Structure 1
Amino acid sequence: MRTGLIFSGGGTTIRHMAELAREAEIAGLDAVYLCEAWRSGIVGLAAIALATERVEIGPYILNAYGRSPWLTAMSAVDLDELSGGRLVLGIGTGNKHINEEWQGIKQSRPLAKMREYVAQLKAAVSTPLGGRIDVDGDVHHMHWAPAVAPARSTIPVFLAALFPKMTEVAGTVADGIALGALLSPGYLKDVVLPRFRGAAERAGRDPDALGTTLAPFVSVGTDADAARDAARAAICHLYAPLPHPYYDFVLREQGFSKAADAAARHVPEGRIEKAMEAFTDDIIDAVTVTGTIADGRRKIESFNGLVDLTLFVNVNYGGTSQEALQEAFTNLIELGRKAPA
Structure 2
Amino acid sequence: MRVGVNVGHFTGTPPPDLAGRLRALDEAGFASVWFAEAYGSDVFTPLAYAAAHTRRVRLGTAVAQIPARTPAATAMAATTLDHLSGGRVVLGLGASGPQVSEGWHGVPYARPLARTREYVEVVRRVLARREPVSYAGEFQRLPAEGTGLGKPLKSSLHPYRADLPVHLGAEGPRNVALAAEIADGWHAMFFAPSFDGFYRDALAEGFARRPGGRPEDFEVVATVPVVLDDDVERAADRVRPELALYIGGMGARGANFHHDVFVRMGHGDAAQRVQEHYLAGRKAEAAAAIPTEVVEQVALVGPVSKVRRDLDAWAATVVDEIAVQGLPEDLDAVASALL
The aligned runs of 1:272-287 (5 Å cut-off) are: 272-287=283-298
Shift of 1:108: 2.4
The alignment's TM-score, normalised by the length of structure 2, stands at 0.88
Shift of 1:223: 4.1
The aligned runs of 1:291-330 (5 Å cut-off) are: 291-305=302-316, 306-314=318-326, 327-329=329-331
CA distance in 2, matches of 1:23, 1:78: 25
Distance 1:46-1:237 versus aligned 2 partners, 3 A rule? same
Report the AA paired with residue 144 of structure 1.
L
Shift of 1:166: 1.6
Shift of 1:133: 2.4
Question: Which residue number corresponds to residue 36 of structure 1?
Answer: 37
Aligned counterpart for 1:177 among listed residues 186, 209, 213: 186
Question: Which residue number corresponds to residue 322 of structure 1?
Answer: none
2:205 maps to 1:198: yes
Question: Which residue number corresponds to residue 116 of structure 2?
Answer: 114
Question: Which residue number corresponds to residue 301 of structure 2?
Answer: 290
Report the AA paired with residue 59 of structure 1.
T
Distance 1:293-1:330 versus aligned 2 partners, 3 A rule? same
Distance 1:289-1:326 versus aligned 2 partners, 3 A rule? closer
Shift of 1:141: 2.7
Question: Which residue number corresponds to residue 154 of structure 1?
Answer: 163
Shift of 1:169: 1.6
Aligned length: 323
Question: Which residue number corresponds to residue 218 of structure 1?
Answer: 226
Aligned counterpart for 1:253 among listed residues 242, 258, 264: 264
Contact 2:225–2:300 under 8 Å retained in 1: yes
2:268 maps to 1:271: no
Distance 1:246-1:205 versus aligned 2 partners, 3 A rule? farther
Contact 1:159–1:178 under 8 Å retained in 2: yes
Distance 1:141-1:96 versus aligned 2 partners, 3 A rule? same
The alignment's TM-score, normalised by the length of structure 1, stands at 0.87
CA distance in 2, matches of 1:107, 1:329: 38
Alpha carbon RMSD of aligned pairs, Å? 2.1
Unaligned stretches of 5+ residues in structure 1: 315-324
Identity %: 26
SS at match of 1:252: helix
Shift of 1:116: 1.1
Shift of 1:333: 3.9
Report the AA paired with residue 2 of structure 1.
R
Distance 1:335-1:126 versus aligned 2 partners, 3 A rule? farther
Question: Which residue number corresponds to residue 139 of structure 1?
Answer: 139
Distance 1:196-1:2 versus aligned 2 partners, 3 A rule? same
Question: Which residue number corresponds to residue 148 of structure 2?
Answer: none
Distance 1:3-1:45 versus aligned 2 partners, 3 A rule? same
2:44 maps to 1:51: no
SS at match of 1:215: strand
SS at match of 1:90: strand
Deviation larger for 39-48 or 296-305: 296-305
Deviation larger for 248-257 or 227-236: 227-236
Aligned counterpart for 1:186 among listed residues 187, 194, 197: 194
Unaligned stretches of 5+ residues in structure 2: 143-151
Shift of 1:252: 0.3
